[in-house]
């Protein structure tokens, strides 16, 4: 009777572990901009200091123009051992004039992003590719006692 009950408890715990492993793991990275914060931006009157107080330090500034700030954020979910799936992605692009006043801003979503195709080529490197045996045997006799 006790052994049968222990088997049922063990089975129930195992099932609970499997169910728990299937729960999604959510992660938010960067600045996920809220709509009510975006509504605070007014073209021609909001300053850079006000943007900093609302959103914090920008994720990045563009390479060719320091007057363009980017706030990048995304929310992902992952189930068990599968890859992360992007649930939400937004980029707030804020452009300032020379007086540090907002000239323009835009909200970009994942649909606005351009797909980047990666090149499958491999950059050759100098040197030999050694097997593990060659590496181990090659080290024999290399180390000498200090005099």
Residue range 13-52, pLDDT digits in tens: 777 766 666 677 888 888 788 888 888 999 999 999 999 9
| 134 belongs to a structural domain | no
| 13 belongs to a structural domain | no
Residue 21 CA to residue 79 CA, distance in Å, equals 8
Residue 75 CA to residue 58 CA, distance in Å, equals 17
- Say how many domains are in the chain: 1
Cα torsion through 19, 30, 85, 26, rounded to 10: 10
| 130 belongs to a structural domain | no
| 61 belongs to a structural domain | yes
| 87 belongs to a structural domain | yes
Residue 103 — pLDDT band, cuts 50, 70, 90?
A: very high
22 or 11: which leads in pLDDT: 11
| 6 belongs to a structural domain | no
Parent domain of 32? 20-114
| 93 belongs to a structural domain | yes
| 51 belongs to a structural domain | yes
Neighbouring residues of 108: CB distance < 8 A, sequence distance ≥ 6: 90, 91, 92, 93
Residue range 66-82, pLDDT digits in tens: 899 999 888 888 877 77
């Amino acid at each position: 009777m006790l052994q049968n009950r222990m088997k049922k408890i063990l089975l129930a715990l195992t099932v609970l572990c499997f169910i728990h492993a299937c729960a999604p793991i959510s992660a938010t990275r960067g600045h996920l901009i809220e709509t009510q914060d975006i509504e605070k931006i007014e073209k021609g009157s909001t300053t850079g200091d006000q943007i900093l107080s609302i959103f914090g330090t920008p994720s990045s500034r563009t390479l060719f123009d320091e007057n363009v700030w980017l706030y990048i954020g995304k929310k992902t979910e992952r189930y068990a051992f599968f890859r992360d799936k992007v649930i939400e992605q937004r980029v707030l692009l804020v452009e300032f004039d020379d007086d540090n006043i907002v000239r323009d801003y835009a909200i970009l979503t994942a649909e606005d992003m351009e797909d980047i195709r990666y090149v499958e080529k491999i950059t050759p490197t100098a040197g030999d590719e050694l097997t593990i045996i060659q590496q181990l045997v090659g080290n024999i006799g290399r180390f000498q006692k200090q005099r």
